[in-house]
Amino acid sequence: MLFRGRFNNSIDSKGRASIPARFREVLSTEFGDDCVVVTELDDGLAVYPKSEWDRIEAGVEALPDDEEIKDDLFLTLISPAVECSFDKQGRIQLTEALREFAGLGDGNRDVVVVGVARKLMIWSKATHDEMRSEAAARIKSNKAQIKKLVLAFLQPHSGGIYLDGTVGGGGHSKLILEASGPEGRLIGLDRDPEALAKAAEVLKPFGDRVVLRHSNFSEARQVLAELGVAGLDGMLLDLGVSSYQLDAAERGFSFRSDAPLDMRMDQSEGETVADLVNSLEADDLSRIFREYGEERYARRIARRIVEVRQQAPLQTTRELAELVRGAVPGGKAPARIHPATRVFQALRIYLNRELDHVAEGVRAAIDLLKPEGRLAVISFHSLEDRIVKRIFREQATGCICPPRLPTCVCGHTPRVALLSRKAVRSSEAEIALNPRARSAVLRAVQKLD
Ligand SMILES: C[S@@+](CC[C@H](N)C(=O)[O-])C[C@H]1O[C@@H](n2cnc3c(N)ncnc32)[C@H](O)[C@@H]1O
């Protein structure tokens, strides 16, 4: 178990800060009761379990004496550290110097205590609120950055016809419609009916310039045929799950809350993850974890699932997450990423056949573009991006005959031009602030005549 969660609190007139019971429990079960309070560079105080702190101090101590940073770390981090323990009421004493550093005083006693994996952070509430709004503004501007690039690649224009294959909450679609006014039209697809309902609200102001359809983007060809559309000026695929889907606990995409093991992107069809984990053979489960989650302990986890389900079927996200934690070596130790993350990703990708659809969807998209039409794809993990990259490269390549043949016999001609030689990635800042932005990769092509 790691420290997670955020609590508002206040320090008392003697400078003691109450640490929420949930954090004290993690501390005493996982680390032991003693801790160390240190000043961090962002005006916050960090509370480290003593064992964690000893590791950090030993790491700094081991740096060569001539490394300039060693002195800096001693000065800013190690020397001001204060050992402390809890009193009977679960409070720690913050020295005057620590309080002064964090901007805490008589008129300013409100604090926010945040669990950050292996340490706790304490900020004055005023500092915390300021940091949060700055962070939110940075995330927003970075998201806007990727959105701007999508528009730069698609170059929407009035009279053009565009397809957003993953309309989700309608964010990108709205921008495409704005940029292609007054005559541009947009067809929006999503396999999740709930997403479509949200998009319908957001896109209402564009009236009959928008048509929304409940469909998999791999079936875009049929949708266009039904609508009598012969070709597209641009198409976007923003792959993966939306924040909205992750936040809807009952959909079972996240183990942060306990919910039935569902994870279907389209709840109107097919099996759920519960069906998979309670019926597949250990070998099949193991292959899924390895192929789609790159999970090192795939076999162990699969065997454990088969063992446990003999007592009773697995039903909830927490049950599965805890099972995985117990099955992998060191799974109970604190870690930055929960040991079940890769297993959940693998089951979701397999259940929804996500990679098959990406390959089919990207190929169909290239067929459906008019000459000079543009396709942009945003991937969220390397498995998806690998497929997109391979298809783009293959379609951008001319003759594929072996070099030893004197003349071309394959007749292969390039169908698209790459719009950027290198993939565009989310900025470091966005990744640090918003883990869901991890490895967002944008690639784009333009159809040739
Ligand atoms: C990252 S979100 C898209 C967010 C959207 N671009 C926006 O700006 O709000 C991905 C969406 O794609 C949908 N989706 C994923 N795979 C799909 C597929 N094969 N066909 C259609 N929709 C799909 C998901 O249901 C989800 O709503």
State the pLDDT at residue 231. 97
- The atom number, within ligand 1, closest to the CA of 361 reads 19
Q: What does the DSSP assignment read for 77-99?
A: IITT-EEE---TTSEEEPPHHHH
Tokens in use for 101? 């550093």
Q: Closest residue (by CA) to atom 14 of ligand 1? A: 166
267-351, CATH topology level:
DNA polymerase; domain 1 (1.10.150)
Ligand 1 centroid to 385 CA: how many Å?
Answer: 15
Provide the pLDDT for residue 339. Answer: 85
pLDDT reported for residue 26 = 86
**What pLDDT, on the 0 to 100 scale, is given for residue 146?**
79
pLDDT at res. 143: 63
User: What's the pLDDT score for residue 417?
Assistant: 96
For residue range 263-311, list pLDDT tens digits in order. 999 988 889 999 999 999 999 999 999 999 999 999 999 999 999 999 9
Distance from residue 63's CA to the centre of ligand 1 (Å): 47
Domain limits of the chain? 3-131, 155-242+354-447, 267-351
User: How much distance in Å is there from the Cα of 150 to the middle of ligand 1?
Assistant: 15
**Residue whose CA is closest, atom 3 of ligand 1?**
168
**Mean pLDDT within 401-407:** 86
pLDDT above 70 covers a percentage of the chain that reads 93
Beta-carbon neighbour count of residue 449 at 10 Å? 6
Task: Say what the pLDDT of residue 386 is.
Answer: 94
Q: Give the C-alpha separation, 322 to 318, whole Å.
A: 6
Nearest CA to ligand 1 atom 18: 216
Model confidence at 227, in pLDDT bands (50, 70, 90)? very high
Atom 20 of ligand 1, nearest CA residue? 216
pLDDT band at 437 (very low <50, low <70, confident <90, very high): low
Instruction: Determine the atom of ligand 1 nearest the C-alpha atom of 217.
Output: 20
pLDDT confidence of residue 439? 63
Assess whether pLDDT exceeds 90 at residue 150.
yes
Q: Residues with beta carbon inside 6 Å of ligand 1?
A: 165-166, 168-172, 189-192, 195, 216-218, 238, 240-242, 265, 357
DSSP type of residue 336: S
242 C-alpha to center of ligand 1: Å? 6
By C-alpha distance, which of 346, 294, 350, 296 is closest to 320? 346
Class of the domain covering 3-131: alpha beta
CATH number of the domain located at residue range(s) 155-242+354-447 in this protein? 3.40.50.150
Burial of 46 (0-12, 13-18, 19+ CB in 10 A): buried
Model pTM greater than 0.75?
A: no
Q: What is the pLDDT of residue 448?
A: 96
Q: Quick one: pLDDT at residue 218? A: 97
What residue's CA is closest to ligand 1, atom 22?
190
Summary count for the chain: helices (H), strands (E): 17, 16
Q: Which two tokens stand for residue 88?
A: 């009977």
User: Which residue do the tokens 């109970």 mark?
Assistant: 332
Q: Confirm if 328 and 341 have CB atoms less than 8 A apart.
A: no
Task: Give residue for tokens 């397999």.
Answer: 350
Q: Which residue has the higher pLDDT, 127 or 106?
A: 127
5 vs 360: CA distance, rounded Å: 41
Question: What separation in Å is there between the alpha carbon of 289 and the centre of ligand 1?
Answer: 23
Ligand 1: centre distance to CA 68 (Å): 48
Q: How many CA atoms lie within 13 A of 360 on its CB side?
A: 12
Residue 143 CA, chain-centre distance (Å), reads: 13
Choice from 164, 189, 190, 350 to test ligand 1 binding pocket (greatest atom count within 8 A of CB):
190
Which of 242, 352, 378 maximizes ligand 1 atoms within 8 Å of its Cβ, making it the mutation to test the pocket? 242
Would you say residue 242 has pLDDT above 90?
no
For residue 177, which amino acid is it? L
Q: Structure tokens of 434? A: 């918003």
Three-state secondary-structure class, residue 412: coil
Q: Are 447 and 419 in contact (CB under 8 A)?
A: no
When mean pLDDT is compared across 202-216, 218-232, 337-351, the lowest value belongs to: 337-351
Question: Among 273, 313, 275, 314, which Cα is nearest to 293's?
Answer: 273
Out of 35-49, 210-224, 367-381, least confident range:
35-49
- Chain mean pLDDT for the chain: 89
d(C-alpha 289, C-alpha 301), whole Å: 9
Mean pLDDT (whole number) for 204-233: 97
d(CA 64, CA 61): 8
pLDDT band of residue 321 (cuts 50, 70, 90) is: very high
For residue 9, how many C-alpha atoms fall within 13 Å in the half-sphere facing its CB? 21
pLDDT of 138 > 80? The answer is no
Higher pLDDT, 449 or 394: 394
Q: How many CA atoms lie within 13 A of 408 on its CB side?
A: 7
Rounded to the nearest angstrom, the distance between the alpha carbon of 214 and the centre of ligand 1 is 11
Residue identifier of the C-alpha nearest atom 9 of ligand 1 = 169
Strand partners, 190: 214
Q: State the amino acid at position 400 in one-letter form.
A: I
pLDDT at 126: 87
Q: How confident is the model at residue 29 (pLDDT cuts 50, 70, 90)?
A: confident
The DSSP annotation for 402-416 comes to: -TT-SS--S-----E
Among candidate residues 135, 114, 136, the one with its CA nearest the CA of residue 124: 114
Q: How far apart are CA 1 and CA 118, in angstroms?
A: 9
Pocket test for ligand 1, best of 191, 221, 264, 358 (most atoms within 8 A of CB): 191
Q: What is the mean pLDDT of residues 103-132?
A: 87
Whose alpha carbon is nearest atom 1 of ligand 1?
A: 242
**pLDDT for 139:** 57
Q: Find which of 58-62, 132-136, 138-142 is predicted with most confidence, using mean pLDDT.
A: 58-62
pLDDT digits over 176-216, tens only?
Answer: 999 999 999 999 999 999 999 999 999 999 999 999 999 99
How far is it, in rounded angstroms, from Cα 234 to Cα 160?
A: 8
Q: Is the pLDDT assigned to residue 64 strictly greater than 60?
A: yes
Q: Which residue's CA is the nearest one to ligand 1's atom 8?
A: 171
